[in-house]
Amino acid sequence: MAKSLNKSRMRDSRVALLLVLFAAFFTKALIPYETALHEGLEFFGYLLIAFCAMGRLYSTAFLGGFKNQTLITYGAFSVVRNPLYFFSLVGMTGVALISTHILIIIFMPIFFIVIYHFLIRREEAFLLETFGAEYEAYMKSVPRLIPNPRLYKAPERIEAVPKYLNKAFKDAIWWFAALPLFEFAEYLQEAGVVQPLFVIP
């Protein structure tokens, strides 16, 4: 069950990213390059990606490699039940901003909210079956996707597994690939190497 959910999440994320990359290389945004609005969207998008990468690494540290084995309710998991989904949504929003395509900025976060909704519902059913009343109480006290910082709690020490932290660190690095890819797409279009197929807002 857990492996199936991970595969679904990865597949949906890859499809969305491929569509965004296609838009970056073969469409042209209405927002002109080198304008304050264009640069501002890129800068804010990069900040969101940095926040996403750090947040996912932080969440993984508390998870400690015990996902689906032990119910983690402290650290990042004390303020929101699905911190990895939350930070991924933040990162995807950052990628959308870097694209500077208004339609992508609007619809990409909506797409992921819908996808995550169904994935989270399936995970909740699995966790309820696994942890029973303990998880049911956790559901009632901690929000699903929007963090509530006032709920934060953490032990003085946690047990972390280096293998999972290393994997999370490598995952975090990939988020930063978005900006150079979009910059490369802009360069190819400005140099006339790639001709946009159409213009989208």
Binning pLDDT at 50, 70 and 90, where does residue 182 land?
A: confident
Q: What pLDDT shows up at residue 201? A: 65
Q: Alpha-carbon distance 42 to 37, whole Å? A: 9
Residue, of 16 and 183, whose pLDDT is higher: 183
Share of the chain above pLDDT 90, in %: 40
Q: What pLDDT shows up at residue 194? A: 79
Judged against a pLDDT cut of 80, whether residue 15 lies above it is answered with no
Judged against a pLDDT cut of 60, whether residue 2 lies above it is answered with no
Judged against a pLDDT cut of 70, whether residue 65 lies above it is answered with no
Residue, of 13 and 130, whose pLDDT is higher: 130
What would the mean pLDDT of 52-58 be, rounded to a whole number? 92
pLDDT (tens digit per residue) in 184-199: 887 887 788 877 776 6
Q: What pLDDT shows up at residue 165? A: 82
Q: What pLDDT shows up at residue 23? A: 74
pTM listed for this prediction: 0.84
Q: What pLDDT shows up at residue 170? A: 84
Residue, of 61 and 25, whose pLDDT is higher: 61
In the chain, the amino acid numbered 152 is Y
